[in-house]
């Protein structure tokens, strides 16, 4: 089990990126969260699960849904688990 923090940049807001990410994460059995960054041009993801599932999510993030235009994907990997119970779309993150 690993914990990854992923930031996806580009045209990734308003194109169902969060909903698509949740669908992929649920299919892969990942736990965590996704939300739009306040900058209007990036999405932040935290996910926990198997290495295979996380690598599969990262591959999805490089393309995104049909209308997305991904310009960059940053990933920080950790073995420190937070123990998420499911994968959620967060509307407004706590600042």
The catalytic residues are 18, 36
Q: Is 58 exposed, middle or buried (0-12, 13-18, 19+ CB in 10 A)?
A: middle
Cβ distance 79 to 4 under 8 Å?
no
H or E element, residue 16? none
Q: CA 35 to CA 56: how far, in whole Å?
A: 19
């Amino acid at each position: 089990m690993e914990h990854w923090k992923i930031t996806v940049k580009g045209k990734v807001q308003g194109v169902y990126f969060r909903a698509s990410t949740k669908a992929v994460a649920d299919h892969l059995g990942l736990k965590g969260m996704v939300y739009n960054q306040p900058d209007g041009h990036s999405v932040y993801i935290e996910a926990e699960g198997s290495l295979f599932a996380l690598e599969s999510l990262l591959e999805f993030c490089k393309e995104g849904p049909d209308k997305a235009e991904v310009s960059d994907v940053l990933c920080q990997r950790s073995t420190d688990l937070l123990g998420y119970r499911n994968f959620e779309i967060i509307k407004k993150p706590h600042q």
